[in-house]
Structures are given as structure tokens and as C-alpha cells.
Structure 1
Amino acid sequence: MNRYFYYNVFLVSLLNLMLFVPHILLRFRYDGAVSSMGVAIVIGSSLALMFTKVMKSFPGKGLPEILAEFFPKFVIVPFLLFMAVLWLVASSIALVSYAVLINRFFNPDTSPIVVLAFLCLICIYTSSRSTLTVIFVIEIGLIINAPLLLFILIKATRSTAIDWDAIRTIANYWTKPPKLQPVSAATYVFTGYINYAIYNRLNPPNFRIRYRWLIPLTGTFILLMTFFVPIGFHGTETVDNYLYIWSVTADSMLMGYGFIERVMFFFLLLYLNLTLIYTTSGWHQAMEFVKSCLPKSSPQVDCIQTPKKNWIITSVFAVITLTYSILLNEKENFSISSYWLTFRMFIEIGSVLFLFVLAFRRKTST
């Protein structure tokens, strides 16, 4: 079961390349981005290690069941609905952003709303499955896509087009003090562990998460790649001209493999798969939080037939996502995403510390 935990960590780490995290970090490249990444590595790694410690104290239980041990339902329902909104916002922002990318790079003549609607239909079906099925989907998706993405990332560092002088120039700004916005953006790379707020239901008693040193190691590697590789390809100034910087960076790379000469299209197809998997996981967890608020709710990690309420809840998520895309433009979406990343970091810190106190209380009372 260890691999399922790390699948979530790797999924979020890799997905940050296609979100607004690189652009936010690069905006602060002269003003504290390097030191902010150092702070984020410490914060993100500490939260991840602390959270794994907490989940070890509650084997086979998700966040709703943990809270139900200590508080009455009328107290925890608002908190669970709030957590459902957080997971929905995170996944829907990723889906909306990728619909814009598909429209811009693959088929500019098609409306992004049409593309988004098609993606939402896929996610309605996949996210409404059982928890066990969703974790299998994550596993299959990462086994297929992650090695290819890592190959592209490693190839980028070995490209002759990369300018190491530009990278060294920006690295010399490490003395600038960290800023809140780049710190919160950089901590998102480590936030995949929080998905076990629901997936911990799959863990048997006496379960231990091993090789936890992989969390800071993997997060640091992806974070450094996220920030420095685009600088090496585009220079210290031009790098700030692009919103979806990694799409342009992938377009700067070539592969001498015949039918895969331009990396960008291959890169975007791989990230289409990851975005759908990420949204599937996010909507599924939001759905489980909502279901935990319903009367007579009981967690089921595997079920033969999909309950109707799963279809209803995920369909509502799709309608909310489409409405969000219609009402807000790309600039407003970026602004909301920036504020959300900061808000998410504080909520994440508070939630992990709160659960740590509950785990300590449970241990001392037994």
C-alpha cells in the first residue's frame, strides 16, 4: 500500500508544472523566489512527515471518520463541506486551465467551453467510481505517464539549448528574503500527501508508510526543475513573458525520434492524462466529504454498483466548473489561483497541526 501514498505525492508534484506555480515563482525570481523555495521545502516536508504520523494513528479511517471520533456531526459537517470546496477548487482550476491550453495549442477554432464540457463528462464518470477504483486509476495513469514525463525533464537538463549562466545568475539571488506568495506556491509541490485524508480508508491496521525520505527528495527535485529549467531555455528576462511557461519550454525542445520530433504535443498529451487523473481524484475526494455530511452515511471503499448520489454530486461539480469558466476570464482565473494557493497553505498547516493534536490526545487517553 506504500505505493498508493507515493502515487498521490508524485501526481501533484508533476502536475504543478502545468498550473500557475512556475509562473508565480518566476515572477519573484529577482525578489526572493530562491529562498522561498528553501522555506517551502522545509514547510512542505515537515507537514508531509507530520501528516503521515497522524494517519498511522488512525488506520483505515479517512478524515470524516477521524473527526467523528471526537466531535458531534453538527460540528464537523461545516468543516467537511469546507474541505470539499477546497478539493473541488483545486481540481477545477486545473481542469479549466488545461481546457484553455488545449484550445490554444491544439484546436484554436473550438470553444474552450466545449472542450471543458467534454473533459467534465469524463471526470463525472471516473470520479463517481469507488475509492478503490480511483486509486487503481491513479496507479495505471502514473505507471504509463510518469516515466515518459521524467524522461522529458531529464532530457531538458541535458539539452544543449539550456543556458547555465542564466540559471547561475538567478541562483545568486538566494540572499533575497522569502515572500509569502512564492512560498505558498512552492509548497504546493509537496501537498500530494493530503489526499490521504480520504485514501487512508484503504490502509489496513498496523500500516506503516516507509521510505518517507522520498517526499522531500522528490519534491525538491521537481521544484528545482520547475523553476530553473525555463530560465535556462528562455533567459532571465524573457521567461516572464509566458503564462504557461512549461508549454513554451517543451516547444523549445526537439527529439530526434522521427514521429516524436516536437516535444510540446507529446508533453501536452501526457499532461492531459495527468490533469484528468488529478481532477478525478480531487472530485472523488470532494464527493466523499459531501457524502459524509449526509444522514446515515457510511464509508465504502469498494461497491459493486455506483450509488446514484455519486452521479448527482459529481454532476453538480461539473456544472460549478463550467459556470466558473464562463463567468471568469483567464486573467481572473490566474488571480484567483494565486490567492487560493496562499489560502490553501494556511488551511493545510492548520489542518495538519489540528489532526496532530487529535492523534496525540488519542494516544495519551489510551
Structure 2
Amino acid sequence: MAGSRHFFYLVLLNALINVINNVPRTLINHRFQDVMTSLVLSVPVGLLMLYFTSRSVMKLRDETLPERLYRLLPHWAALPVLLGFAFVWYMAGAITLLSFVDITLRYISPDMSKYLVMSGFLAVVICSARMKSYSILFALETLTVLMVPFMMYFLGKTVLNPDFSWDAILKTVRSGWGTPTFEALSAATFIFTGYTNMAVFHRAFRGFKLKLAHLWLIAIPGVLTLLTSLLIPIGLLGTRGVEKHVYPWFSTADSVHIEFFLVERLVFVFYLFYITMSLISVIVHWHVAFHIVELLLPFKQKLKSGARSYIVIVSFALPSLAMLMMDQQTLLHLAVMYLQIRFVGEFSLSVAAVWAVRRRWAR
């Protein structure tokens, strides 16, 4: 069974993967308006939803939150509500895959077919997402422990770079105290969203109870992650220059060189780290989405387990391949829109979790 540390790995995973899901790009767009206000507000908002949702789902024991909602909600309400949640989890993985295909073609191998790259990613993700919840959690733990040192090395190389501008950071910190906007707040709260996966993964835990004291273990890394996600690209690329880059963190990595190492460009080390964390992130999200879609399949009692799996796999893979036809600007708009839809869905999930635990009757 999973231990309490695996809960923190779920939260940490989402915090680390924000670079791929266009969170820094969205925050940078608000750097002269309300970014600092939104960052400060996102911490209590994210932690409150995390606390109440996690405490509620742990009371469900062997029943997942989607299963409880499917049992409690009227038939006419259960389908659209659960499909909405499945869509949010699916898009979390799909946008990560689409962004990483674009990054791979832009920084690593421009001559490769984007459909070939996506097919390779899909094969890894779909096969792994079918595993048991506790197996995914232990794989997450292993990969995180192995990869975090790479991230710490990258942070050290960028901050200690002689071209790193602390004046640019101070200018951003002084300028971003306007009235918070929904777009910036929804991007900032993404850091804490990893707890939502407990809607299904909680079955792998036994005896874990989130306490208020535990929130400090999430709040401090969360605040540091928010600040580094925003400020490090600004410090190296400048307050004006940073807006010219679609993926500011990869551009930051590409501008740093490594002396006396096997590879000269730091972007290759950064890519290795993020391809690993991106794939495990999509595996976690699609594991939850698979569970919800299989729950809603019509005639599921008459379908064999293999047939259900093939239906779900096709329904996940084909839209991901079709979305490759989008251009980069459309993908960026989709990512920003998704962050806002996710924030609404996350709040709805928190309300649903508290309601489902308190509800005493079932249909």
C-alpha cells in the first residue's frame, strides 16, 4: 500500500510539470499587471481546496469519488458531471503531450514527424496508465527521486549565471500588484492541483490522514515553485525579452551552457528531466480519466475487460492525434483556456467530494 509520502509526490509532480502546461507563459503575460497579487492569493485558495478535498476522499475507503457520485447522483446528472470531470483529466494529459511534441520538434529533432513522436508517447502512456494505482505511485516515487537532482542542478546553473539579472526580478516584483484576474489566478493555482488525483488514487492509501500541519510541507515548496516558475526566465531573458519566447523555461535552458560535461547545452539535460516527468504526469491523469470513462461505458456489464480497454484506448488516442493539426498559437490559446476550465472543475470537484461524503442515501 502507498504511504503518506506518495500524496506529496502527487502534489509535487503537478508543481514541477507546470512548465509544460504554459503556466509560466500565462503568468509572464501578467507580469506588469497582477501576477504577484495572483500568486499570493493562489496559495490560500489552492491549499483550502486541497485540504477539504483530500480529507473528504480519504473517507470513501475502497470506493472512488467517481463511483460514489455515480451512485448518488440522479441518472440525468451523473453522466454530464462525470464526463466533465473525465474531460478535464483527459485534457490535462493531452495538452502536456501536445506541448511536449512541439518542444521535441522545436529544440531536439526538427526533422521528425510529429505523428511519429506522438505515437511513441501514446504507446508509453496508454500501456502504463492501465497499471494498478499503487504501481503508478511507486513508479512516480522512483522517477521523482531520480529526476529532482537534475532540476536542482539546473536551478543552480541559471541563478549563478553571470547574465542573470536580479534587477529584472525586482522590477517584476514591484510591478505586479494590480487587481488579480481570473486568468492569472487559475494559472497560479495549477501548482497545487495534484491532489485532485486522489479522487481515484486514494484507494492505494491506508491510514493516511491529511492534517493542517502537513499543509506547510506543501505551501513552502509550492510558493518557491511559483516564484521560480515566473522569475527565473525573467532573470535570464529580461522583462521584455521573455515575452518573445513560447516556452520560456526551455529557452532559458537553451541559453545556458555546461562546461566539462558530456553535453554542452543544458537544454538536453532539462529535456531529459521533463520528458520523464511529463510522461508520468500524463500517466497519472489518464489513469483517473480511464477509470471514469470505463465507469460510464454503456453496456459495460456485457463487455469483456479487454473490449472496454480497447474502446477507451481508441477514444483517448484518436483525439490526441487529431489535435496535432492545431498550429502553435491555437495550442497556446487552448492551454490558457484549459487552465481556467480546470480551476472551475477543481472547485466543483472539491464541492462534490465534500457533498458525496456527507450524503447518507444512495439510489
SS of structure 1 residue aligned to 2:215 = coil
Residue in 1 aligned with 2:313? 314
Distance of 2:227 and 2:139 partners within structure 1: 28
The 3 A distance-change label for structure 1 pair 84 and 223 is same
Is 2:356 the partner of 1:353?
A: no
Residue in 2 aligned with 1:240? 243
With normalisation by structure 1, the TM-score equals 0.90
Contact 1:128/1:311 (<8 A) preserved: no
With normalisation by structure 2, the TM-score equals 0.91
Cα displacement (A) at 1:256: 3.1
Instruction: After superposition, give the CA deviation of every residue in 1:160-217 in whole Å (9 maximum; x if it has no partner).
Output: 321101100110014322111111111111101101111011122x431353322211
The 3 A distance-change label for structure 1 pair 279 and 339 is same
1:224 aligned partner, one-letter code: L
Contact 1:124/1:315 (<8 A) preserved: no
User: Given the alignment, which residue of 316, 334, 337 partners 2:335?
Assistant: 337
Distance of 2:61 and 2:215 partners within structure 1: 17
Cα displacement (A) at 1:358: 3.4
2:225 aligned partner, one-letter code: I
Residue in 2 aligned with 1:98? 100
Contact 2:129/2:287 (<8 A) preserved: yes
1:317 aligned partner, one-letter code: F
Contact 1:85/1:286 (<8 A) preserved: yes
Residue in 2 aligned with 1:282? 285
Residue in 2 aligned with 1:271? 274
Contact 2:47/2:215 (<8 A) preserved: no
Residue in 1 aligned with 2:185? 183
User: Given the alignment, which residue of 168, 171, 184 partners 2:170?
Assistant: 168
Number of aligned positions between the proteins: 355
Identical-pair percentage: 27
SS of structure 2 residue aligned to 1:51 = helix
The 3 A distance-change label for structure 1 pair 143 and 335 is same
Distance of 1:162 and 1:21 partners within structure 2: 21
Is 2:224 the partner of 1:221?
A: yes
Name the stretch that deviates more: 247-256 or 10-19.
247-256
Cα displacement (A) at 1:223: 0.6
The 3 A distance-change label for structure 1 pair 141 and 307 is farther
Contact 1:54/1:356 (<8 A) preserved: yes
Q: Residues 30-69 of structure 1 correspond to what in structure 2 (within 5 A)?
A: 30-68=32-70
Gaps of 5+ in 1: 299-305
Q: Residues 129-144 of structure 1 correspond to what in structure 2 (within 5 A)?
A: 129-144=131-146
SS of structure 2 residue aligned to 1:345 = helix
Residue in 1 aligned with 2:194? 192
The 3 A distance-change label for structure 1 pair 126 and 311 is farther
Residue in 1 aligned with 2:153? 151
Instruction: After superposition, give the CA deviation of every residue in 1:14-59 in whole Å (9 maximum; x if it has no partner).
Output: 0111221111111111111111111112211111112122123223
Distance of 1:49 and 1:151 partners within structure 2: 32
Instruction: After superposition, give the CA deviation of every residue in 1:76-128 in whole Å (9 maximum; x if it has no partner).
Output: 23322221111111100110110011111111111222211221122121112
Distance of 2:141 and 2:308 partners within structure 1: 25
Residue in 1 aligned with 2:7? 5
SS of structure 1 residue aligned to 2:196 = helix
2:354 aligned partner, one-letter code: F
Contact 2:26/2:187 (<8 A) preserved: yes
Residue in 1 aligned with 2:209? 208
Cα displacement (A) at 1:74: 5.5
SS of structure 2 residue aligned to 1:243 = coil
Contact 1:128/1:314 (<8 A) preserved: no
Distance of 1:307 and 1:2 partners within structure 2: 33
Distance of 1:358 and 1:324 partners within structure 2: 35
Distance of 1:22 and 1:319 partners within structure 2: 29
Name the stretch that deviates more: 161-170 or 206-215.
206-215
Is 2:324 the partner of 1:325?
A: yes
Cα displacement (A) at 1:307: 4.0
Instruction: After superposition, give the CA deviation of every residue in 1:131-182 in whole Å (9 maximum; x if it has no partner).
Output: 2322222222212212321332244333332110110011001432211111
Contact 1:91/1:283 (<8 A) preserved: yes
Residue in 2 aligned with 1:230? 233
Cα displacement (A) at 1:312: 3.4
Distance of 2:43 and 2:157 partners within structure 1: 24
Name the stretch that deviates more: 274-283 or 128-137.
128-137
Contact 1:4/1:139 (<8 A) preserved: yes
Distance of 2:158 and 2:300 partners within structure 1: 49
